[in-house]
Structure 1
Amino acid sequence: MPRWLPRAVLLVLGLVACYQLGSWAFHQLIGLLVNILIAFFLALAIEPAVSRMAARGMRRGLATFLVFLGVFVASVGFVVLLGSMLAGQIVDMVEDFPRYLDSVINTINATFHTELSRLEIQDSLLRSDWLQKYVQDSASGVLDVSATLLGGLFRLLTVGLFSFYFAADGPRLRRALCSVLPPAKQSEVLRAWEIAVAKTGGYLYSRGLMALASGIAHYVLFAVLGVPYAPALAVWVGLVSQFIPTIGTYLAGALPTLIAFTVNPWYALYVLGFVVVYQQFENYVLQPKLTSRSVDIHPAVAFGSVIAGTALLGAVGALVAIPAVATLQAFLGAYVKRYELTQEADSATPASRRPGRVRLPGLR
């Protein structure tokens, strides 16, 4: 047996063991890594505001605390306002539910010539097996819901803590990172950091514009239908549909649909139809235009990055995909060498879409 064979076998076994250990550690820490990724992008989002306050002489830690306090107060006030509104509407809906049910039953009887009765329907529902099973499952799932809420609260605190330190100690973090790199690489790291801040801010700016447009459009509908709390519902639809990925649209549309049902059941259908139609308009017309302009990426790339981010990291990936791709594209664009178009390539491009360029002698 060759002398190198035992060492090679031990080396291979060691590499396999290291790979297994690294894979196990990565899967154990994937939740923490995702939280750090969210915190990093949140820190990039508030970096411009913190930097302006620090440039005016305020300590960076205090500036970060004030920004976080403002965001927290606005979020809590918004949740409390909507919670009180929703509680009042639920009470009204429960009190008026028999009247709504009688109206629906009368409409069905008049249309289909049936003889349905509200009391018979209530008795059949109360005695049904699926309702009893649903109540039992709901009672057994209270502990699961409580554990989920506690886990979400802990995750929120973790993200807030990391994002606070990333924003408050941003310059120190950049200096520590650059201190282990050669001078040529230090400038590239700083430029990538600045690009990430600009692209993340641009992404939030585009989301803010879409939230404003969505809020105005839905407010007009709510005001025309006479839905209560139209301004608050419009703000709810605009913010939730834009800043909660994947399921934000459904959460945003459920609440105004429920409130409209308390006014008139047909109004709920109108609101639901408008939400669906506006979502298609936003997906295919508004969002590609605003996103491509604010973060400077092609609409198809923006759409594909959201799909890829969702497939990799779920809702978190959908939220950070566009600013991450825009940052990577802007950073790599400086290293891509571009050449003057030939006559054949230039003639294949429509004149309205040709970028400004310097013509070389001999080219028409």
Structure 2
Amino acid sequence: MPRWLPRAMVLALALVAVFQLGSWAFHQLIGLLINILIAFFLALAIEPAVSWMASKGLRRGFATFLVFLITLIAVAGFVTLLGSMLAGQIIKMVEDFPAYLDSVISWINTTFHTELKRVDIQEGLLRSDWLKKYVQNSATGVLDVSAQVLGGLFQLLTIALFSFYFAADGPRLRRALCSVLPPARQAEVLRAWEIAVDKTGGYLYSRGLMALISGIAHYILLEYLDVPYAPALAVWVGLVSQFIPTIGTYLAGALPMLIAFTINPWYALWVLVFVVVYQQFENYMLQPKLTAKTVDIHPAVAFGSVIAGTALLGAVGALIAIPAIATLQAFLGAYVKRYDVTDDPRVHGHRSRGSGNLLARVRRRLEEQVQQFERKRGAKPTDDSAKRDRGQGPDDGTS
């Protein structure tokens, strides 16, 4: 046995053991790593506000505390107002649900000439197996829900603490990171950090502003049509339409259309028309002005990044996918060399359809093949072929 074989076997076993240990530790800490990633992007989002306050003379830690306090008060007020409004409207919706169901059944019976009855539908629901299973699972899952709530609160506290430290100690963190890199790499890291701050903060601020405008516009429409639960529906449309790219507007508009349909089918059509028109206004007029200097990526790339982020990290990946892709696109843009595009019609999607040019090319190709064949046989080219070789046309007897 070679002397190096035992040591090689021990080294291989040690590497396998280290890999297994690292893989186990990574799977155990995946939740913490995701929380740190969320906290990092939140710190990037509030970095502009913290830096502005610090430039006015406030200590960076106190500035971060003020930003967190203002954000917490705004979120708590919004949740309180929305929760109280939704609670009252949900109670009213439950009370009015039989009337909505009667109107839908009446429309179905009138349109499709059926004889549905609300009593039959209610009895079918009460006797269904899935309702019994749902009640049993709900009764046995109270402790699980309580544990999930406590776990969610602990997760929010962890994210808040990490984001506070990332924002308050941002300069110290950048200095510690750059201290282990050469000067050229330090400049690249600082530039990437600055781009990430601009893109993340700009994305959240611009999306928040567009969500506010969208919510106000849809609230005016729903209030004008006298659709119930207009404030809650407007908040729903504003948030979903802006933070789910490409298809978020149509997903958000489905709920107001359904509620409007129970009042009047024509109201649902008006809501659909307004959603489509507002989407065009937002895409061509509002969004380019708000996101021209913040996040400017193709809608297909945005939608694909959200799908990929959801597949990797779930809802968290869907939220941070667009600013992450925008940051990567802006950072790589400085290192990708670009050239001027030639002024070719094919660049604009135009194809040449001149059949005469094609026939001429085919004819010249055949004549060249005939000349090559004649040269190989040692024959003298014909007079017409010789004239064409000299750039003259065939002798047709005219002067």
- Output the TM-score relative to the length of structure 2: 0.73
The whole-number CA distance in structure 2 between the counterparts of 1:180 and 1:336 is 27
Q: Show structure 2 runs of 5+ residues with no match.
A: 349-399
1:221 equivalent in structure 2:
221
Q: Which residues of 2 match residues 322-341 of structure 1 at below 5 A?
A: 322-338=322-338, 341=340
1:154-193, Cα deviation, whole Å (9 max, x unpaired): 2111111110110011111112222222333222222221
1:296-346, Cα deviation, whole Å (9 max, x unpaired): 4344433332232222222222222222222223323333445x54xxx52
2:148 equivalent in structure 1:
148
Residues 1:58 and 2:58 aligned together: yes
Q: Show structure 1 runs of 5+ residues with no match.
A: 353-364
What secondary structure sits across from 1:94 in the alignment? Answer: helix
| Aligned-partner residue type, residue 202 of structure 1 | G
2:343 equivalent in structure 1:
347
| Aligned-partner residue type, residue 10 of structure 2 | L
1:239 equivalent in structure 2:
239
Shift of the 167–314 alpha-carbon distance from structure 1 to 2, 3 Å rule, reads same
Shift of the 275–307 alpha-carbon distance from structure 1 to 2, 3 Å rule, reads farther
Larger Rg: 2
The whole-number CA distance in structure 2 between the counterparts of 1:132 and 1:265 is 34
Percent pairwise identity: 75
The whole-number CA distance in structure 1 between the counterparts of 2:155 and 2:232 is 28
User: Number of paired residues?
Assistant: 347
Q: Is the 8 A contact 1:288 1:302 kept in 2?
A: no
Q: Is the 8 A contact 1:225 1:267 kept in 2?
A: no
1:86 equivalent in structure 2:
86
Q: Is the 8 A contact 1:246 1:315 kept in 2?
A: no
Q: State the Cα RMSD in Å.
A: 3.7
The whole-number CA distance in structure 1 between the counterparts of 2:246 and 2:40 is 21
What secondary structure sits across from 2:342 in the alignment? Answer: helix
1:36 equivalent in structure 2:
36
| Aligned-partner residue type, residue 171 of structure 1 | P
Which shows bigger deviation, 21-30 or 199-208?
A: 199-208
Q: Is the 8 A contact 2:246 2:299 kept in 1?
A: no
1:251-309, Cα deviation, whole Å (9 max, x unpaired): 95577568657x72748855885698589869987899676763243444333322322
Q: State the Cα distance separating 1:48 from its structure 2 match.
A: 0.5
Which shows bigger deviation, 59-68 or 275-284?
A: 275-284
The whole-number CA distance in structure 2 between the counterparts of 1:106 and 1:327 is 54
What secondary structure sits across from 1:297 in the alignment? Answer: coil
1:127-171, Cα deviation, whole Å (9 max, x unpaired): 444433332222222222222222222211111111011001111
| Aligned-partner residue type, residue 207 of structure 1 | R
1:189 equivalent in structure 2:
189
Q: Is the 8 A contact 2:198 2:294 kept in 1?
A: no
Q: Is the 8 A contact 1:260 1:271 kept in 2?
A: no
The whole-number CA distance in structure 2 between the counterparts of 1:93 and 1:10 is 70
| Aligned-partner residue type, residue 146 of structure 1 | S
